[in-house]
Amino acid sequence: MIIRPEGASVSKRLESVMAHRREVPEDLNLKRIVERQFDKAAATLDVPSGLLDQIKACNAIYFVQFPVRFGDSYEIFYGWRAEHSHHRKPLKGGIRFSPLVDQDEIIALAALMTYKCAIVNVPYGGAKGGVSFDPRNYTRHQIEKITRRYTAELIKKNFIGPGVDVPAPDIGTSEREMAWIADTYDAFNPGGIDNLGCVTGKPVTQGGVRGRKEATGRGVTFGILRAMDSPGDFDGLSLGRGVEGKTVAIQGFGNVGYHAAKFMQEAGAQIVAIGEWDGGVYSKKGLDVEVLNRHRLERKTILGFPGAREMKDPREVLEVECDILIPAALENQITRENAPRIQAKLVAEAANGPTTVEAEQILLERGIHLIPDVYLNAGGVVVSYFEWGKNLSHMRYGLLQKRLEAAKTASLLAAAEELAGRHLSESLRKKLSVPPDEEALVNSGLEEKMTGAYEEIREIYLTRKQVKDMRTAAYVVAIEKVARAYMELGIFP
């Protein structure tokens, strides 16, 4: 039974538990949250404690303070790069520019990257980087200087390279910053044939791959669609199959949130609420994602969108009544304070660490299930893997087989016409004869990775009695794969 804050009172047992929990401050440290999630899964496994300690530990952390000159003055910036696990090479993880960046956050995100790569079967170790500043307060030229100097610091200590550690975009960074990083690395390593593989998420003209910008949001949609193909996996949920007509609320309208909203709407879902840093908008009839995005680009805010009710508190969108809630912003957004007011039937975590440990327990007790971040937002690293492979092969996807595929399809259509005794229209024949381009191949690969990973998680969730939720199942998948890798290396017997 799903308990709703409206229309039904919260059970006395849950009220008692909540009262007890409020007596102790909630732990919002992301590093400790990830470690607790790891420990919960590890407790169900027969893996040596020493090996578990190795998997859990962050192998290396580089902290740097570097000056950047702006005009006649200097400003000191603080940056980090964490390399969590070297069981696979190279390491992989984004770079974020945010005033909230600190060492514990970077270590936690690097750990999530280790587990994420293992879950979606991408052969990387996990890493993460960041610089503590707010890009909104700096000019484009200043951000470029900060990015290039930070890259130089990583190069000095060998914390970046196509075979060492490969960054990607994250909060506060984009294709632009990745192009600057690639250019800086190339300047420090003249003549390196694989230099473009030092970073992913680059513009297509600078060695990027089509589909990378949309990858995380598209991967979120693929993950939700696969989960909704078998809604019986989630005890107590009566959502029905597919997302057609399902109501969706999304917190965050950046790259991930926008593309998740766009692709969910294209799949037939009804986007009823979207929240941003300065507030949110709600419409029971649904929001047109593309029109809202144009409004945001013109006004620099989603507020004031015609026909929608404004929400002044950015977190209010989390409490909207809906079928699926997609947190796509920052960590610690669903806490024990607001978890009793969540009205979604399913929470799909597009952000890293949006739900605290205590909040998740409350949601599960109320019959609200989660698709965990450690799986669901892995679309970015999957397509980064494709981009990295493209950079090392120096070959665009689909190039060699394009003409062959077109000729093969034309022959099949001709044979079908001969058997049927009738001809296809020229427009239909042309449409059917077009071979898949790079973006189509990338999206196909992404869907395969996300679907295959869900199947592995689902198998653990349904067959192991000690595993009670999808997050624990995902961590079990990750830990077992990383443990196997260490054993294969001969580090552990």
Q: Does one domain contain both 308 and 251?
A: yes
pLDDT tens-digit series, residues 145-188: 999 999 999 999 999 999 999 999 999 999 999 999 999 999 99
Q: Does one domain contain both 182 and 230?
A: no
Residue 176: inside a domain, yes or no?
Answer: yes
Whether the pLDDT of residue 4 is over 50: the answer is no
Residue 486: inside a domain, yes or no?
Answer: no
Among the residue ranges 113-122, 154-163, 306-315, 356-365, the one predicted with the least confidence is 306-315
Please identify which residue in the block is written with the tokens 């980087």. 129
Query: Does the pTM of the predicted model rise above 0.85?
Result: yes
Which of residues 22 and 358 earns the better pLDDT score?
358
Q: Does one domain contain both 219 and 195?
A: no
Q: Does one domain contain both 186 and 277?
A: no
Cα–Cα distance, 121 to 130 (Å, whole number): 25
Number of folded domains that form the chain: 2
Cα–Cα distance, 445 to 113 (Å, whole number): 19
- Judge whether 329 and 306 are in contact, CB under 8 Å: no
At residue 405, φ and ψ (nearest 5 deg) are -65, -40
- Residue 16's pLDDT band, with cuts at 50, 70 and 90, is low
Which pLDDT score, from 0 to 100, does residue 105 have? 97
Residue 362: inside a domain, yes or no?
Answer: yes
pLDDT tens-digit series, residues 417-467: 778 888 878 777 777 767 778 999 999 999 999 999 999 999 999 999 999
Residue 242: inside a domain, yes or no?
Answer: yes
Question: Which one of 56, 92, 128, 202 is the catalytic residue?
Answer: 128
Q: Does one domain contain both 195 and 246?
A: no
Q: Does one domain contain both 155 and 233?
A: no
Which pLDDT score, from 0 to 100, does residue 21 have? 53
Structural domain including 176 reads: 59-199
CATH number of the structural domain spanning residue 373? 3.40.50.720
Q: Does one domain contain both 233 and 85?
A: no
**378, 394, 409: which is the final residue of a domain?**
378
**343, 378, 413: which is the final residue of a domain?**
378
Whether the pLDDT of residue 68 is over 90: the answer is yes
Which pLDDT score, from 0 to 100, does residue 332 have? 95
Which pLDDT score, from 0 to 100, does residue 368 have? 94
Q: Does one domain contain both 328 and 278?
A: yes
- Residue 6's pLDDT band, with cuts at 50, 70 and 90, is very low
> How many other C-beta atoms can be found within 10 angstroms of the C-beta atom of residue 300?
9
Whether the pLDDT of residue 14 is over 70: the answer is no
Whether the pLDDT of residue 395 is over 50: the answer is yes
Residue 128 is among the residues annotated as catalytic for this protein: yes
Coil vs helix vs strand at 24: coil
Q: Does one domain contain both 157 and 246?
A: no
Which pLDDT score, from 0 to 100, does residue 20 have? 52
**199, 226, 245: which is the final residue of a domain?**
199
Helix (H) or strand (E) holding 94: strand 91-97
Q: Does one domain contain both 223 and 195?
A: no
Mean pLDDT, residues 191-212: 97
Residue 6: inside a domain, yes or no?
Answer: no
Q: Does one domain contain both 369 and 229?
A: yes
Q: Reduced to 3 DSSP states, what percent helix, strand and coil does the chain have, rounded to the nearest 5?
A: 50, 15, 35
CATH number of the structural domain spanning residue 107? 3.40.50.10860
Task: Tell me the angle at which helices 255-266 and 289-299 cross, rounded to the nearest 10 degrees.
Answer: 150
Q: Does one domain contain both 221 and 121?
A: no
Which pLDDT score, from 0 to 100, does residue 3 have? 35
